[in-house]
Chains A and B, each alone.
Chain A
Amino acid sequence: MSRIFSLQRLFAMLIKEFIQMRRDRITFAMMLGIPLLQLVLFGYAINNDPRGLPTALVAMANDPYSRAAVTALENSQYFKFTDVNVSPSEARSLLRRGKVTFVVTFPSNFAKQAEAGTPNALIEADATDPAASGAAVASAPAIIENAVASIKQKNPSLKQDLLKSSTIIHRKYNPEGITQYNIVPGLLGVILQLTLVMMTSIALTRETERGTMENLLAMPASPFEIMCGKVLPYLGVGAVQVAVVLIAGRLLFNIPFEGGLLLLIGAILVFVLALVLLGYFISTVARTQMQAMQMTFFFFLPSLLLSGFMFPYAGMPEWAQTLGEIFPLTHFLRVVRAILLKGAEWSEVSASVYTLFLFVGLLLMLALKRFKRTLD
């Protein structure tokens, strides 16, 4: 008994492990925090049958039929009319920028069509994410039909024939509803984020752990030089990854390249810069490589869930959307999908790119500030 297994020795091990576990605050917090985070995010924020999708309304005429149809669409909870009575060109721009998921258009003669029994509404859907728009689009024709019918019933003088409604549906940017079109550009962002943040997050902690930091600091290298030296090589790594993903996306998945390549590369560069600086910032906070990894993971998980990569962004509750805005990935996904799938121009993605620039500036400042403090 005492040779192979002793309860006393096991007890000694257990006590030591427990003390060490308790002393490593970050690990302890992660063990409790991650399950709770997952539970809340998955439980409340994630919705595979998203409701309340932002919709633009183009109503050529203000008639009772289209009004009833709009009310009915809104009552279905799938559609939330965020931009009402915009011009057709404005509506299209909103769709390209990803501000709205649908554009609903009622023609000027909708009332006449309704009374004649053939109401033709037009629904343009941003189908880049087939999962987000699918259910709403499928239910829309019936909803409009019922709304028109109920108005007609109030007016017995009209012919109460069966409606031959033909709501026209345009699934734009991804008419065949190919999931890869949405996933692969998103994967570009996710792959870049995973590797670059992780690699740069151990940049400084590795020096500290190996004891080389003290020497490095004693030599005449400024914090800015050290940061650039640590971070720039990963821009190269990022460039290779971008090339691989884009070429594979084209060759294996036939991902459309609607927009300009130069604009795309520029946007990717800003995103990559934000990522390496984020990683570097983590490495100024973490004390060990292990902690850096944990922090990266802690950041990675919610960004995956809330950025619109795995689940439709527009389908999340407002608080989750607000939370999603703090991740560079969220903004990058908008840009890369808009450029690749919708052929968006600079003016249509500039807001998101500027936000990415904001991340770069903020993280640069934070990292340099933190670094100065770690000297002492």
Chain B
Amino acid sequence: MNAIEVKGLTKRFGDKLVVNNVSLKVKPGEIVGFLGPNGSGKTTSIRMMCGLLKPDEGNGQVLGYDLIKDRLLIKSQVGYMTQKFSFYEDLTIEENLSFVARLYNLTPLRKHTTETLEKLGLLSRRNQLAGELSGGWKQRLALAACTMHKPKLLLLDEPTAGVDPKARRDFWEEIHRLAADGMTVLVSTHYMDEAERCHRITYISYGELLADGSLSDVIADAGLYTYTLTGPNLERFIAELQENNGVQQVTPFGNSLHVTGTDLQALKRVLKPLEQNEDIQIEQSETNLEDVFIKFMSDSTDNMQ
């Protein structure tokens, strides 16, 4: 049985189509990255999967429970971490945890909260108000709170926005530990380094599944070839390169330029004239995930209009 198996999820708010025909399958124990451009309805999709919203169309199962009928059962076995910190800033760390533990009827209460505090490393700061914590700590507290009841499925909505790299790395180590214990994780993100830490990546753009598979599969399936140009003042070539049909995208990375295209021969032809410049080095490089995503995004029109 899949942890998540939903088909054709659709949600409208008024006239606005927010989620259009999203289908998704997640196997137990997997960490799946849920990606898509802004406004493609990732948050709304996640809310539908954790029982917060009722889909207008579509159906499916989460942890074997019906998405429409068993929303309360789903809620009790899924952990959902919201994008914005959504615990009580005017409660202490311990009070927040106790509140969650009571809602999920975790007994003995004291044991659960103390264990969680210990694991968090916040035992000595248990009486501090949650609002006084830094962004990274808040996010760790939120993760601890929403995994306290040992959910079988954890849904994370852009969990590490605004968090420093060290805290983000620690966070992901924790996610992998939880997955090793058998928890299934679905995480929506915009960060490439986060996506790269997932077992599997799903890219959805306005209801269309554009990519699905492991990191290397997704990159290979995209069929992109990339050259890296290194040298001074590369900006002068950007406009000229972009006009070429053989070039899909030109992306500056510090002192280098990534030139990407689907046709290797065409790409070579375009770059040939540049070889005359002695101060520029041109070499074929690996296509990275970001190149692939930017291709996806420029292929689809934005939902904002």
A residues apposed to B, CB below 8 Å: 210-222, 375-376
Checking B75, B84, B85, B87 against A220 with a beta-carbon cut-off of 8 angstroms, the contacting residue is: B75
A-B contact pairs, 23 of them (CB 8 A): A211-B84, A211-B85, A211-B86, A212-B86, A212-B88, A214-B52, A214-B82, A215-B80, A215-B82, A215-B146, A216-B86, A217-B52, A218-B52, A218-B78, A218-B80, A219-B100, A219-B103, A220-B75, A220-B76, A220-B103, A375-B52, A376-B53, A376-B54
| Cβ–Cβ < 8 Å partners of A375 in chain B | 52-54
Smallest CB gap from B43: residue in A: A214
Verify B75–A218 contact, CB threshold 8 A.
yes
Verify B86–A215 contact, CB threshold 8 A.
yes
| Cβ–Cβ < 8 Å partners of B88 in chain A | 210, 212
Known: A375-B53, A376-B54. A222 touches B72 (CB 8 A): yes
The size bracket of the interface on B is 20 to 34
| Cβ–Cβ < 8 Å partners of A214 in chain B | 47, 52, 82, 86
Smallest CB gap from A213: residue in B: B86
B89 an interface residue at 8 Å Cβ cutoff? Answer: yes
**CA of A376 to CA of B100, assembled, Å:** 23
**CA of A376 to CA of B56, assembled, Å:** 10
Interface string of B194-232 (1 = CB under 8 A from A): 000000000000000000000000000000000000000
**CA of A219 to CA of B51, assembled, Å:** 10
Verify A220–B82 contact, CB threshold 8 A.
no
Besides A220-B104, A375-B52, 5 more A-B contacts (Cβ < 8 Å) are A211-B86, A213-B86, A219-B75, A221-B103, A375-B54
Interface string of B51-95 (1 = CB under 8 A from A): 111100000000000000000100110101010111111000000
Interface string of B230-242 (1 = CB under 8 A from A): 0000000000000
**CA of A214 to CA of B87, assembled, Å:** 10
| Cβ–Cβ < 8 Å partners of A220 in chain B | 72, 75-76, 103-104
Smallest CB gap from A212: residue in B: B86
**CA of A211 to CA of B82, assembled, Å:** 9
**CA of A273 to CA of B51, assembled, Å:** 31
Verify B75–A215 contact, CB threshold 8 A.
no
| Cβ–Cβ < 8 Å partners of B84 in chain A | 211
Which chain B residues (38-54) contact chain A, with CB distance < 8 Å? 47, 50-54
B243 CB to closest chain A CB (Å) equals 40
Verify B103–A218 contact, CB threshold 8 A.
no
